[in-house]
Structure 1
C-alpha cells in the first residue's frame, strides 16, 4: 500500500459548488476509483487559503496503468471536465501534474 498526499487550490467563487458536487459524487466515478486500487480517499478544504488537500491509499501494483485506466474512463473524464475549471493548480507543481504531489514525512498507525 502506498499513501499519497496532493494539494491544489480551489477558486473561492467555486467552493460551494465544488463541495456540493463532492457530496454527491457519481456512482460510476466512485466505482472507477475503487477499480483502480484507491482506498481511503479523502479531500479536505483549508480556508481562508482555499487549498484542497487530498489523501488516498493505493492498493494496486501498477500506479501508472491504473491512473491511465481512470483517465480513459468517459464518466471520469466528464467528472473532471466539470471540476477542473473550479480548481487552481499551484504554480510550483511538477511538470505534468494537476494536483501537486507531496512528500510523506511522518506516519504512525
Structure 2
C-alpha cells in the first residue's frame, strides 16, 4: 500500500458547487475509484486549497489511473469538478492535482 497526498486550488466562486457535488458523488464514480485500487480517500479544504489523501493498494498505479481516466462516467464527473479547480503554478508537467511529498506518517 502506498499513500498519496495532493493539492489543488478551488475557485472561490465554485467552492459551494464543489462541496455540493461531493455530498452526493455518483455511485459509478465511487465504484470506479475502488476498482482502480484506491481506498481511504479524503479531500479537505482550507483557505482556497483542496488537499487530497488516499491509499493505493494495487500493483500498477499508472495502469489503474489510465483505466480511471478512460471511464466515460468518470470523464463526465470531471467535466463538473474540473471547472471548480485551479491547479497550482508549481505543479509538475502533466499534473492537475500537484503531488505532495510525505514527510511523516504514524500508524
Give the paired residue count.
107
1:60 alignment partner, one of 58, 62, 67: 58
Deviation, structure 1 residue 42 = 0.0
Determine the structure 2 residue equivalent to 1:30: 30
Counterpart secondary structure, 2:89: coil
Deviation, structure 1 residue 22 = 0.4
Deviation, structure 1 residue 41 = 0.2
Q: TM-score, normalised by structure 2?
A: 0.99
Q: Find out whether 1:39 has 2:66 as its counterpart.
A: no
RMSD of aligned Cα (Å) = 0.4
Counterpart secondary structure, 1:91: coil
Moved over 3 A (4+): none
Q: TM-score, normalised by structure 1?
A: 0.97
Q: Distance in 1 between matches of 2:2 and 2:43?
A: 17
Structure 1 unmatched ranges of 5 or more: none
